[in-house]
Structure 1
Amino acid sequence: MNDSELSDVTGQAFINLTTDAANGLNFTRVNFGVDVQTQLNIRQLRLGKYDRSGEAAGTADIDINNFALGAVDDVTGQVDAFRIKNPFLELAYSGNKVVGVRMGFGEAQGYLSGDINRMTGNIAVDLYGKGSYLATQMNCAWYDLICASAKGLVGGTYANSDFSAQAQLVNGSGDADPVRATMIGMVDGQTLSIPSGSGFDNFLLGLFSSSNCSLLSTQTCFPLANYGTFPIGKLNSSNQFVSAAKGVFLSLQTQNVQWRDQQDASQFISALAGAFMNIPRNADGSAAINTSFQEAFNGIPRKDTCFGTPNKGC
C-alpha cells in the first residue's frame, strides 16, 4: 500500500504494552487483543509446592490431576472449546526484582475439568434450586421442631420457589479457607435467599444461617473432589453458555501482591504469596460458576476431554 492508501486505514496492534504503579509495586502488562478457542489437557497441574505453615507437608497451593479446558464429543467428533477473550500477561516488580506474574483473561467461558486435590485463591459459586428439592435434604431430628417447621415451609409453601446461596472455598468447619482448600461451600453465617421473593420471605430465611457446615440439618460444605467439571460462565436451561466470566486470572508471587481488579480499576485483588487462582464474582454480583443444589450434594460428573476410550488423562 502506498502512503495515500495507508492514510485511509485505522487500526490497533493486537499486542500492546501498559504500565502501572500501586501499593509500592510497579507493573508491566502485555495485552493480547485476540480471541482464543482452545481444548487442552494437562496430566498434572501442580503450582506452589513447598512447605507452608499450617498446611499438610508435601501439598501444593494448586494441585489438580487431569486438568482440562474445554470438552469433546466422541459421538459427533466435535470440540466444545474453552473461549478466552483479551488475554494478558502481567509482571509485578519491587525495585528491579520480579515478585509476581499474572496470566489473566478479559473474559473466560467454557468447561474447566480436573481431579481437584487442593485449591488456593478466590472461587465464587452460586448455588440454585427449588425448595421442593432442598426439603428432601433436610434431615431433621425427631425432636427438632424448628427444623421440622422450616422443612414443612420449604417443601410446602416454598416448594416451587427458586432458592439461591453463595459458596466459596471453606474448611470442614465452614470457615473461609483460601489456602490449599479441599472443600467448597457456604461460609459460617451465610444464609439462603429467594431472589424473586418478598422482603418477608428473605427475612424468614435470614433467621437461619450456615454454621459448622450445616444449615437446618442440611450439609453446606462439600469436597472439591466431588466435582469433575465446573462450568465457567452462565449456562441456560439447554446447557448452552450465554455469558462469560470476567476477571479470571492465575498468578504466582513471591510475596502478597495487590493485583488491580480487571472489572473495577479502582479496586485490587489480594493474591497471597505462592500460586493463586481467581474466579471471582462479576461486577453485577453474579458468580463465575453456577451449579444446582443437586450438583452440590451429588457432585458433577466430568465432561469428556479426550477422544477415544478414556475421558481424561490423554
Structure 2
Amino acid sequence: MTKYAYGYAALTLFCVGIMPVAHAELAPISDDAMGEVTGQAFMQIENFTGQNLNGREQKVTRMSLGIDVETRVNVDDVKVGEINAGTDFAASHLALGHIARVNGEVYNGVTYNEGDAVPFEARRPYIELAEDAAGLAGFRMGFHEARGSVSSNTTSFSGNIGMKIESFGQVYDAQLFQGPGGAPTDYRATHIGLKPNNPNQAAGCNVGATLANCAPLTQLRSLDIGEDSGQEGVAAFTDGFFIGFQRDQDGVAWKTLDGTSSIAAGKGVYINLPTNMTVQLDQLTGAGLDRRRTHQVDMGTKLF
C-alpha cells in the first residue's frame, strides 16, 4: 500500500548504504555441514504498541539487522526537513569517525598511529515504523549499539544533544535554544547552553558577555557518541543514537530499546545524540570544542 512507501524506501536505502556488496555462487549444503552452523537471524522483526505525543495508540514495527558496521564517512552538506523558511537539520562537513592525528592516539581503549582511520562503530542497525489511523505517523533509523565521533559545522538542529556542561563546580544538563535571548527548544535550535538546576536560576541564552551561558552550535565541532563506561577515555556503546521523521505535530513517543521509557519527537526531523561528555562552560563559550581530523589532508582543529 502506498502509505508505507517512504518508510520502505528509507529501509532500502539504509540497508544498501551499510551492507557490503558480495558476489558468490549458490551451492547446496549437506545436513551434516548445516548442523555445525550456529548464528542468529539476519533480520529480526518486532511488533508492539506505542503512542503519539497526545497519548493515542500507534502500532509500531521494528526491523533489526544482525550485522555490525565500522565506518568513516564524510558528507559536504546536509539539509533535512527544509520547509517553511527553515531547516530542521542543517550542517556542513558532517563526518562519522575520524583519522588519528599523532602516533599513539588512544580512542575508546584502542591505540592508533598517525593517519589511521578511527571508525564509527555501530551494531544491529534498525528501522522502526509507527502507524496510526491516518497511516504512517513516522519512522526512525538507529542502532542497538553505537559509539564514535561525530563532527560537523551545524547551524540548525532538531532533537536532543545529551551533554553535560560544568560551570564553577556545578554540572548542568545541556539545553538547546532558539538563539541569543531565545527560548529553550528541541526544534531548529541554533545555540546550546546551560539548563537551570532549579527554578530560581535564570533561564535563557546569553552570549558574548561575562555572564555568557550559551554558544552557537558551531562551537561543537566534534562530539563523542556513547555512554559512561566508568573507565577514563572509554565510552560504552549507546542504544539511543537515532534519527526520526514524524508526520505531524502529534509526533511519536519513540520507546527506548529496553522499553522502559520514551523520547518525545514532534513534527519533522528529530536527531538523538547521546554523549558521555562534560564540557567546561568557558571552553564552550570561548574557543569551542576542537574538530577531530576527518580528512586525509589535516585541515586543523577548526577545519577552516
Classify the TM-score, shorter chain: 0.7 to 0.9
Percent of aligned pairs with the same residue?
27
TM-score (norm 1): 0.70
In the alignment, structure 2 segments of 5+ residues that lack a partner are 1-28, 52-56, 103-113
**Structure 2: distance between partners of 1:73 and 1:7:** 44
In the superposition, relative to structure 1, how do residues 227 and 244 fare at CA in structure 2: closer, same or farther (>3 Å)? same
Give the alignment partner of residue 201 of structure 2, picking from 185, 196, 209: 209
| Number of the residue aligned with 1:304 | 293
Q: From the CA coordinates, give the structure whose radius of gyration is larger.
A: 1
Q: Is 1:116 the counterpart of 2:108 in the alignment?
A: no
Give the drift of 1:21. Answer: 2.6
* Distance across 1 between alignment mates of 2:282 and 2:229: 16
Matched, 1:180 2:180: no
Change (3 A) 1:239 1:62: farther
Question: Residue 66 of structure 2 aligns with which residue?
Answer: 33
Structure 1 residue 254: Cα displacement: 1.3
Q: Which runs of 5+ in 1 are unaligned?
A: 52-56, 135-161, 192-205, 281-286
- What is the deviation of 1:250? 0.2
1:295 aligns to what? 283
Q: CA deviation at 1:95?
A: 4.6
Partner of 1:141: none
1:234, 1:290 within 8 Å by CA — same for their partners in 2? no
Tell me, yes or no, if the aligned pair for 1:169 and 1:178 is still in contact at 8 Å: yes
Aligned in 2, Cα 1:20/1:46: closer, same or farther, shift over 3 Å?
same
CA shift in 2, pair 1:21/1:166, >3 Å = same
In 2, are the aligned partners of 1:70 and 1:81 still within 8 Å (CA)? yes
Note the C-alpha offset of 1:5.
5.5
Bigger strand share: 2
- Cα deviation, 1:32-62, whole Å, max 9, x if unaligned, reads 22221111011111110000xxxxx2x2000
2:98 to 55, 65, 71: 71
Deviation at 1:180, TM superposition (A): 0.4
How far, CA to CA, are the matches of 1:264 and 1:107 in structure 2?
12
Question: Which amino acid letter does the alignment assign opposite residue 30 of structure 1?
Answer: M
Cα gap change, 1:288 to 1:4, in 2 (>3 Å): same
Corresponding residue for 1:15?
43
CA distance in 2: counterparts of 1:101 and 1:257, whole angstroms? 10
Provide the rounded CA distance (Å) in 1 between the counterparts of 2:228 and 2:192. Answer: 20
Q: Is 1:219 matched up with 2:212?
A: yes
Distance in 1 between residues matched to 2:183 and 2:172, nearest whole Å: 16
Could you tell me how far 1:4 is from its partner in structure 2? 5.1
CA distance in 1, matches of 2:142, 2:30: 38
Quote the Cα distance in structure 2 between the aligned partners of 1:254 and 1:295. Answer: 38
User: In 2, are the aligned partners of 1:34 and 1:85 still within 8 Å (CA)?
Assistant: yes
CA pair 234-128 structure 1, distance change in 2 beyond 3 A: farther
- Counterpart position of 1:61: 88
Note if contact 2:165-2:194 (Cα within 8 Å) is conserved in structure 1. no
The question of whether the paired residues in 1 share the 8 Å contact of 2:58 and 2:130 is answered with yes
Structure 2: distance between partners of 1:253 and 1:260: 10
Correspondence for 2:261 = 267
Cα 1:308–1:274 change in 2 (3 A) is: same
Change beyond 3 A, Cα 1:19–1:224 = same
Secondary structure in structure 2 of the residue aligned to 1:265: coil
Measure how far apart 1:113 and its partner are. 0.7
- TM-score under structure 2 length normalisation: 0.72
Within 1, Cα distance between the matches of 2:78 and 2:247?
19
Q: In the alignment, residue 67 of structure 1 is paired with which amino acid?
A: L
Q: What corresponds to 2:20 in structure 1?
A: none
CA RMSD of the aligned region, Å?
3.1
1:106 to 144, 147, 172: 144
1:278 is aligned to 272
